[in-house]
Amino acid sequence: MKNLHIIEGIEVDMEALFSITHNCEPGTCIKNECCCSRYDICIEKNELPNVLSFMPDASRFSSELKEDSAYLNIFDETEDNLMMIDADENGLCVFAFPDDNDHILCSLHTVALEHGLLPHEVKPRSCVTWPLAVTDREPTMLSVSDDALEFPCNSVNNQTGILDANISDIIKNMFGADFLNKLNDNARYLNV
């Protein structure tokens, strides 16, 4: 049984959140071991304008975004009213591109850094939320993706009772500072 605690109406798997470290650094991913190739990337329709506004810059890195001088339609509507981002013939998100060492980079992440922005200000929410998992059922549950430790950007957190700084940032960006403070307060109470 998971160590679930309710924070602001969300079931939080405290043990899972405190069990992992995450470091999304450009250049650590390779094709078979990156989230850009293992998952279908879906975004909400209200995220489209932001993603589209960065396509011109992103297309400098990813050839899958543009043909000649025209931007390609890289979104398909899903049955649950989300927009899925296309993948190339190898299953890699069309925003992904290889660097000179065949590491996989995200053109949106790269553009964010070029503009002095944080990646969560540019990339789709589903991308910046990972490796956390947020269910779309009621009640919402916040946990960690089951296969997160199969990727080079994640490892086991050996610091008992301390939430990884990058996991903290993801939670703060998703749910706000008050939610994060309540989560940390609950963790102290529960001795996670």
- For residue 106, list its beta bridge partners: 96
Q: Pull the structure tokens for residue 165.
A: 């700084």
Alpha-carbon distance of 93 to 78, in angstroms, equals: 16
Given a contact cutoff of 8 angstroms between Cβ atoms, the answer to whether 71 and 65 are in contact is: yes
Alpha-carbon distance of 122 to 115, in angstroms, equals: 10
User: 146-174: string of b/e by CB count within 10 Å (b at 16+)?
Assistant: eebeebebbeebeeeeebbebbbebbbbb
- Cα distances from 173 to residues 40, 93, 100, in angstroms, run 22, 23, 31
Task: Give residue-wise pLDDT tens across range 10-62.
Answer: 999 999 999 999 998 777 777 667 888 888 889 999 999 999 999 999 999 99
Alpha-carbon distance of 171 to 173, in angstroms, equals: 5
pLDDT at residue 105 greater than cutoff 60? yes
Given a contact cutoff of 8 angstroms between Cβ atoms, the answer to whether 158 and 18 are in contact is: no
Alpha-carbon distance of 81 to 181, in angstroms, equals: 33
Task: Give residue-wise pLDDT tens across range 109-168.
Answer: 999 999 999 999 999 999 999 999 998 778 889 999 999 999 888 999 998 889 999 999
